[in-house]
Structure 1
Amino acid sequence: MPSDMSFQELRERAGLTREEVADLVGCEERTVYRWECGEIRPRKLVTDVLERRARERSGESVNSAKFTFIDLFAGIGGMRLAFDSVGGQCVATCEWNKYARETYAANFPIGEHPFYEDICEITKEDKLIRSIPDHDVLVAGFPCQPFSIAGVSKKNALGKAHGFACEAQGTLFFELAKIIKLKKPKAFLLENVKNLVSHDRGNTLRVILDVLRHQLGYWVDYKVLDAKGFVPQHRERTIIVGFQQDVGFSWEDVRIPASASGPKMGSILHSKSEEPDGRFVVGPKTRVNPKYTLTEHLWLYLRNYAEKHRAAGNGFGYGLVDGTKVARTLSARYYKDGSEILIDQGPKKPPRRLTPRECARLMGFDETGRAPFRIEVSDTQAYKQFGNAVVVPVIRAVAAAMVPCVLDMKAGQNEPRLPLFKHRAPEAYAADD
Structure 2
Amino acid sequence: MRVRNQVAASFVSGAIVVGGLFAAETAFGLEETGSIQGTVAAEDGGVPLPAALVALEGTDMSATTGADGAFAIDGVPAGTYRLTVTREAFAPLTSPVTVAVGEPVLLDLRLPVLEFEESVVVTATQTERAVTEVAASVTILDARTIEASSARNLQDLLRRTPAIDLAETSGMAARANSSLVMRGVPGTKRALLLVDGLPANDLGLGTLAALSLVPLASVERAEVVRGPFSSLYGANAFAGAINAITRPGEGPPVADFFASGGAAGYYQLGTSVRGETGPVGYAFTADRRKIDNVYNRDTRTVPRVAEDRSLQQETVPLRNVGYEDVRLTGRLDFSASDAWDVTLLPRISSYETGLDMSARLPVAVDEHKRDTAVNLGGIFRYNGAGPLSAQIRTSYRYSNQSLFQENFPLAPPRQPT
TM-score tier after normalising by the smaller chain length: under 0.3
Please report the TM-score for the alignment, with normalisation by the length of structure 1.
0.21
Larger radius of gyration: 2
Please report the TM-score for the alignment, with normalisation by the length of structure 2.
0.21
The structure with higher relative contact order (CA 8 Å, sep 6+) is 1
- Determine which structure has the larger helix proportion and give its number: 1
- Determine which structure has the larger strand proportion and give its number: 2
